[in-house]
Each structure stands twice: as structure tokens, then as C-alpha cells.
């Protein structure tokens, strides 16, 4: 059998967004070995005349995890190394259902499966939060009595007087190899479930849209994440593209509660039309929070409670600012940053 060096082809790491990605090519480096070296997850098919046919198997795990193909070309789950980190953690959801969804119609299975409102109308607020297109939502036991419909979804249509709302299964949990016992996810917002974590407790094997599954809260004791930085002299930028005015480390929602408020004391010079602020995750290249169109010329608190894309594992965050309008000598000034 062949030894596959997936890490040299894909460079997969611990980014939870990459867990469950499909591999579309491989590099066969050794036809004499009987193991594969796994640095991510996906489905591998090896076709080679020296193998006398096609060998297929599902690869699960993290960097340098080892699994041995059995006679049929399958990698048994029991061979997944103990202590693999990050494999079951999914990108956070904005909210978790706290009450039953309105009547809906289920369509499809697995990839592309949807829940569509039975009548035209907007999706009601979920746990006190009004969702927008692209938001992730955990539909659990509170959201539906139909256990096979539960899971992580994305809002593909918020609904209106002319159209129904639509939720589509998220692409990191829409296949049997991804929706497995122990999958856990954090809710970023919500009156009841904000900053809480939930774990899939149903035993394997699980067939998406067939097996009735359940989620349970697994943490309410994580420490708060609080950042409070004041600058002796204002940090400034004259750039019209986002520039870094503060850098810090967020430990990840596995280790600290998801922050939900950003306060920045800032102002702009006279002559600038407006200025924008954003909290950027540079590890994962995602925007965590943003406040645009600010126009104050004296120090004021710029605030937002709309956080998104909070990572489960440690990441480097930056506070960034840019000016809109004005000249090269006009500055945006930041006096302090508070996150909590």
C-alpha cells in the first residue's frame, strides 16, 4: 500500500474551518509502506497498477495522525490517535435555538439539505437575536422535535412577506464523516445561550438526516475574556486602507467565553469624511466586529456588540482603522481599546 504525505500537499493545520474539507489530489511518495500520514481530513482514493486496483478510505485526524488501511482500504475509526486536538470543534455559531422553530418543510439529505419555512415570512429572532444571511445557527433539541433534522445550519434566506425563511446545513457538518459524536460548537450570542458550548452526545455511527441526534451544554464555567488597553499617546493612521493600531491574543472560545462587546475611544481630524474601525482575526483572516461611518472629531466611545466568527482556538487579533476622505496629513486617533 502507499504512503501519502498529505501535509506536503495541503499544509492542513488546526484551523477548524478546514476540518472535514475534501481532498481532491494526493501525492504518492512510497509504494512500499502500509501506512498513511494524515494532516487533515477528507476522503482519499488511490488508484495505481502496483496496488492492483483502487483503495479508498476516510482520513480523520490532525497533523501527523497515523492510520493503517485495512484489507478493504478503509481506515478504522479506532485507529484515530488519542489526543487529537481540534478535530471535533466546529466554527462557532451565532446562536443556538432556545425555542421551537416555526413550522417548516425539510428537503434533501446531507450536502445542501434545507429547512424551509412552511409559510412566507421572516425568520423570528432566535434566543433574542435577529439573524442575517450567512449566520450560523445550531438547531438542537429545543429547535425541533425531529431529531434527524438537528445540526448546524446557515441562514440562506431570512424570509419576507413574499418568501419563506431557509436554513441550509453548514458545510462542516453535512456529511457522515463530519457529524460525529463529540462534535462541539460555541454560541457567540443569545439571551440564554450566548457564550455557551454544546456537544453532540449521540453515539456513532451517525447518518446525516437519518439518525436522531441530540446536543447538550458542556460548559458554563469558562472564564470571561477581558481586554483593556490605554495608550499614553494616541495610536494614529492616515491610511485609507485598514491599518493596525493594536495587536493582542485571543485564547479561543474553548478556553474563554466569547467576547461580545467592543469599545474603542477614538476620533478623527477635521477634514476627514468619516472613519472605520474593525476587529480582525489575522490568524484565520476573518472579521470579528466592525463599526463603520464614524464621524466624531472629539474623543468618543465607538461601540458594537455584533461579534461573529469567534474562533475556538487561539488566534491573533488586531484593531484596525482607516480614514474615508480627507488628505494624507489627516489622522484617525485611537486612545484605548476594551473588549469584554
Length of the chain: 340
Is 54's pLDDT higher than 50? no
Residue 191 in grid coordinates: 439571551
Q: Which of 259, 206, 9 is nearest to 88 (CA)?
A: 206
> Whole-angstrom Cα distance, residue 21 to residue 41?
6
pLDDT at 270: 93
Give ∠ CA 61-64-66 in degrees, rounded to 5: 70
Q: Which of 181, 158, 208, 338 is nearest to 262 (CA)?
A: 338
Q: Report, as an integer, the average pLDDT of 99-124.
A: 96
Q: Pick the range with the lowest mean pLDDT from 71-80, 92-101, 149-158, 277-286.
A: 71-80
Q: Report, as an integer, the average pLDDT of 202-212.
A: 95
Is 27's pLDDT higher than 70? no
Per-residue confidence band for 30, with pLDDT thresholds at 50, 70 and 90: very low
> Whole-angstrom Cα distance, residue 48 to residue 54?
7
> Whole-angstrom Cα distance, residue 57 to residue 284?
29
pLDDT, one tens digit per residue, over 292-306 is: 999 999 999 999 888
pLDDT at 241: 94
pLDDT, one tens digit per residue, over 238-271 is: 999 999 998 988 888 777 777 878 999 999 999 9
pLDDT, one tens digit per residue, over 32-50 is: 444 444 444 444 444 443 4
8-state DSSP, 304: E
Q: Report, as an integer, the average pLDDT of 280-288.
A: 93
CA distances from 124 to 104, 138, 154, 190, 198 (A): 13, 15, 15, 13, 22
Per-residue confidence band for 76, with pLDDT thresholds at 50, 70 and 90: very low
Q: 22 and 41 in contact (C-beta within 8 Å)?
A: no
3 vs 138: which has the higher pLDDT: 138
pLDDT at 38: 41
pLDDT at 37: 42
Residue 336 in grid coordinates: 484605548
Q: Report, as an integer, the average pLDDT of 163-173.
A: 95
* Residue boundaries of the structural domains of the chain: 3-79, 88-221, 227-339
pLDDT at 86: 39
pLDDT at 35: 42
pTM of the entire predicted model: 0.48
CATH of 227-339, one of 1.10.3470, 2.60.120, 1.20.1550, 2.40.50: 2.60.120
94 vs 195: which has the higher pLDDT: 94
Q: Which of 97, 99, 275 is nearest to 193 (CA)?
A: 97
125 vs 44: which has the higher pLDDT: 125
Per-residue confidence band for 219, with pLDDT thresholds at 50, 70 and 90: low
Per-residue confidence band for 80, with pLDDT thresholds at 50, 70 and 90: very low
Q: Which of 206, 60, 211 is nearest to 147 (CA)?
A: 211
Q: 326 and 227 in contact (C-beta within 8 Å)?
A: no
> Whole-angstrom Cα distance, residue 57 to residue 44?
6
Q: Report, as an integer, the average pLDDT of 137-147.
A: 94
In DSSP terms, 294 is beta-bridged to: 275
Q: 80 and 177 in contact (C-beta within 8 Å)?
A: no
Q: The cell 462534535 sits on which residue?
A: 183
Q: Report, as an integer, the average pLDDT of 61-88.
A: 43
Q: Report, as an integer, the average pLDDT of 77-98.
A: 63
pLDDT at 248: 87
Q: 121 and 161 in contact (C-beta within 8 Å)?
A: yes
In DSSP terms, 38 is beta-bridged to: 65
Per-residue confidence band for 150, with pLDDT thresholds at 50, 70 and 90: very high
> Whole-angstrom Cα distance, residue 14 to residue 40?
8
pLDDT at 257: 73
pLDDT at 8: 24
8-state DSSP, 50: G
Amino acid at each position: 500500500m502507499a504512503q501519502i504525505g498529505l501535509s506536503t500537499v495541503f499544509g492542513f493545520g488546526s484551523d477548524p474551518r478546514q476540518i472535514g474539507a475534501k481532498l481532491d489530489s494526493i501525492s504518492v511518495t512510497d509504494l512500499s509502506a502500509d501506512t498513511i500520514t494524515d494532516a487533515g481530513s477528507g476522503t482519499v482514493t488511490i488508484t495505481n497498477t502496483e496496488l492492483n486496483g483502487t483503495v479508498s478510505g476516510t482520513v480523520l485526524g490532525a497533523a501527523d495522525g497515523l492510520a493503517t488501511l485495512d484489507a478493504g482500504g478503509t481506515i478504522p475509526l479506532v485507529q484515530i490517535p488519542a489526543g487529537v486536538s481540534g478535530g471535533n470543534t466546529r466554527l462557532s455559531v451565532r446562536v443556538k435555538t432556545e425555542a421551537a422553530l416555526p413550522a417548516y418543510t425539510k428537503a434533501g439529505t446531507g450536502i445542501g439539505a434545507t429547512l424551509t419555512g412552511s409559510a412566507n415570512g421572516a425568520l423570528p429572532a432566535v434566543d433574542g437575536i435577529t439573524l442575517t444571511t450567512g449566520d450560523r445557527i445550531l438547531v438542537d433539541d429545543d429547535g425541533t422535535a425531529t431529531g434527524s433534522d438537528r445540526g448546524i445550519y446557515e441562514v440562506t434566506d431570512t424570509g419576507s412577506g413574499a418568501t419563506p425563511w431557509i436554513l441550509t446545513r453548514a458545510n462542516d457538518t453535512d456529511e457522515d464523516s463530519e457529524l460525529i459524536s463529540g462534535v462541539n460548537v460555541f454560541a457567540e450570542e443569545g439571551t440564554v445561550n450566548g457564550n455557551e458550548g454544546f456537544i453532540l452526545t449521540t453515539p456513532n455511527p451517525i447518518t446525516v438526516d437519518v439518525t436522531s441526534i441530540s446536543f447538550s451544554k458542556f460548559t458554563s464555567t469558562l472564564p470571561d475574556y477581558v481586554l483593556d488597553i490605554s495608550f499614553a499617546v494616541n495610536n494614529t493612521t492616515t491610511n485609507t486602507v485598514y491599518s493596525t493600531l493594536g495587536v493582542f491574543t485571543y485564547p479561543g472560545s474553548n478556553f474563554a467565553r466569547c467576547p461580545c462587546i467592543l469599545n474603542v475611544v477614538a476620533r478623527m481630524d477635521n477634514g476627514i469624511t468619516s472613519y472605520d474601525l474593525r476587529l480582525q482575526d489575522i490568524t484565520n483572516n476573518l472579521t470579528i466586529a466592525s463599526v463603520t461611518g464614524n464621524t466624531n472629531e472629539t474623543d468618543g466611545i465607538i461601540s458594537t456588540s455584533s461579534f461573529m466568527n469567534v474562533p475556538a482556538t487561539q488566534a491573533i487579533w488586531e484593531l484596525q482603522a482607516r480614514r474615508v476622505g480627507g488628505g494624507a496629513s489627516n489622522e484617525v486617533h485611537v486612545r484605548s481599546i476594551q473588549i469584554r
